[in-house]
Amino acid sequence: MYLILLGPPGVGKGTQAQFLIDDLGAVQLSTGDVLRAAIANGTELGKQAKQYMDAGDLVPDEVILGMIHNKLVELEGKAVIFDGFPRTEAQAQGLDVELEKLGKSVDKALELTIDDQVVVDRLSARRVHAGSGRVYNLLFNPPKKEGVDDVTGEPLMHRDDDKEDVIRHRLEVYHKATEPVAGFYEKQGKLVKVDGDGTVDGVRQRVKDALKGLG
């Protein structure tokens, strides 16, 4: 079983991916992990990727797809959840080609949907304790005392990437680059949309219902 997980930043993909790993006995495959492993192991593709990265350039799709192919061979027989990949329609087309070489195909693309304003409200309400990494949210998990960590009493930080203008830019990038990926799978009849708003458990149940029969 090969599942694509899509959705904007702040929709809770990471949380739901962890549930899917448990529920389906799946392996989570992220390009970041694959890239780091290939570079650490000194593979030919890893060496190519490192050259691009050292020069400050993006690693080309063909190199990423080659790494993905090698990892899929390694994971053959296991359910795989693609996390953060494909990011573009070209990558989605490339992934289809690589899976076809293995006699496989994407089973479903699950898109968690949510209103942009909800994302802005959620993420801009996050506060972090720098020393421990403890995360609070002013909407549903606020600190006991405003502005300070529950354990140490030290000030909480509002990270730059949790500020409204940055969040809106990230959403703009998502809509422009990644939404066409959802359209690609919709044309194939493989896209399932799930409302990502509400409680974590509520979203988990909707995801389970949408994927009944898979795994």
Q: Tens digit of pLDDT for each residue in 43-77?
A: 999 999 999 988 888 889 999 999 999 999 999 88
Q: Which of 50, 78, 87, 193 is catalytic?
A: 87
Q: Which of 108, 122, 126, 127 is catalytic?
A: 126
Average pLDDT, the chain: 92
How much of the chain exceeds pLDDT 70, in percent? 99
Please confirm, yes or no, whether 13 is among the known catalytic residues: yes
Q: Which of 101, 159, 163, 176 is catalytic?
A: 159
- Is 127 a residue of the active site? no
Residue 212 is predicted with a pLDDT of 85
Q: Is the pLDDT of residue 24 over 70?
A: yes
Please confirm, yes or no, whether 134 is among the known catalytic residues: no
Q: Which helix (H) or strand (E) holds 77?
A: none
Give the pLDDT confidence of 141-174 residue by residue, as tens digits. 999 999 999 999 999 999 998 999 999 999 998 8
Please report, for the chain, the start and end positions of each structural domain, with discontinuous segments joined by +.
2-26+79-210
Active-site annotation holder among 13, 108, 122, 204:
13
Annotated catalytic residue 168: no
Catalytic-role residue among 78, 170, 193, 206: 170
Domain 2-26+79-210 fold is: Rossmann fold (3.40.50)
Predicted confidence band of residue 215 (pLDDT cuts 50, 70, 90): low
pLDDT exceeds 60 at position 116: yes
176 is catalytic: no
Distance CA 143, CA 153 (A): 10
Q: Which pairs with CB-CB distance under 8 Å and at least 24 residues apart come from 89-96?
A: 89/180, 89/181, 89/183, 89/184, 90/61, 91/61, 91/64, 91/65, 91/181, 92/4, 92/181, 92/184, 92/185, 93/184, 94/61, 94/62, 94/65, 95/65, 95/68
Residue of 129 and 200 predicted with greater confidence: 129
